[in-house]
Amino acid sequence: MGDPVAAGNGRSLPAGVGSDRVQLGQIAPGYDYDVLDEDEMGDRHGQVEPHRRMLTLRTDVYERILDHKGRDRFTGCHEVGHAVLHGRTLNRLAPGIRPARYCDPEWQANTFAGAILMPEHMVRAMRSVGEIADEFGVTRDAAEVRCRILGVTVHP
Ligand SMILES: [Zn+2]
């Protein structure tokens, strides 16, 4: 495991959110990040606060990113996606409003995370969902969704 104590000081997220350390401030200008315990985060695994330009990950999620756990890597990239795509204002959809799917900020952040973790040209060279999951350190579910979005047919 890496060094969670360094969180927020070095201005870079750990390897595992993407393929290398992520200089968050370079891709989402002005952004910093923090790691908070469950007593402060509750059920939230991560969050982005545009007004503070702050990306926060829950401690257990951060530690599992350092351990290269696929689900948590995806969560980290999802939050980076919010910072990059919705960094100035994160407009949550009002309950009951159903816009086009691609207009949903959660869909956008998930698609961002899938694209960062599983580059299209590399996915197209793979033969199975398991190979994609192993190669990119993602869950089988995430690999299946990425294939569906790209229209790639691979073995289950
Ligand atoms: Zn989100």
User: How far is the centre of ligand 1, averaged over its atoms, from the C-alpha of 105 (Å)?
Assistant: 7
Mean pLDDT for the stretch of residues 6-10: 46
pLDDT bin (cut points 50, 70, 90) of residue 7 is very low
Give alpha helix (H) positions in the chain: 24-27, 38-41, 59-66, 70-85, 105-117, 120-123, 129-136, 140-150
Question: In this predicted structure, what is the pLDDT of residue 85?
Answer: 92
pLDDT at 151: 95
Residue 27 has pLDDT above 90, yes or no: no
* pLDDT score, position 17: 64
Q: How remote is the CA of residue 89 from the centroid of ligand 1, in Å? A: 13
How far apart are alpha carbons 26 and 22 in whole angstroms? 9
pLDDT in tens, 129-140: 999 999 999 999
The structural domains of the chain, with segments of one domain joined by +, span: 4-96
Average pLDDT value for residue range 75-99: 83
How far is the centre of ligand 1, averaged over its atoms, from the C-alpha of 156 (Å)? 27
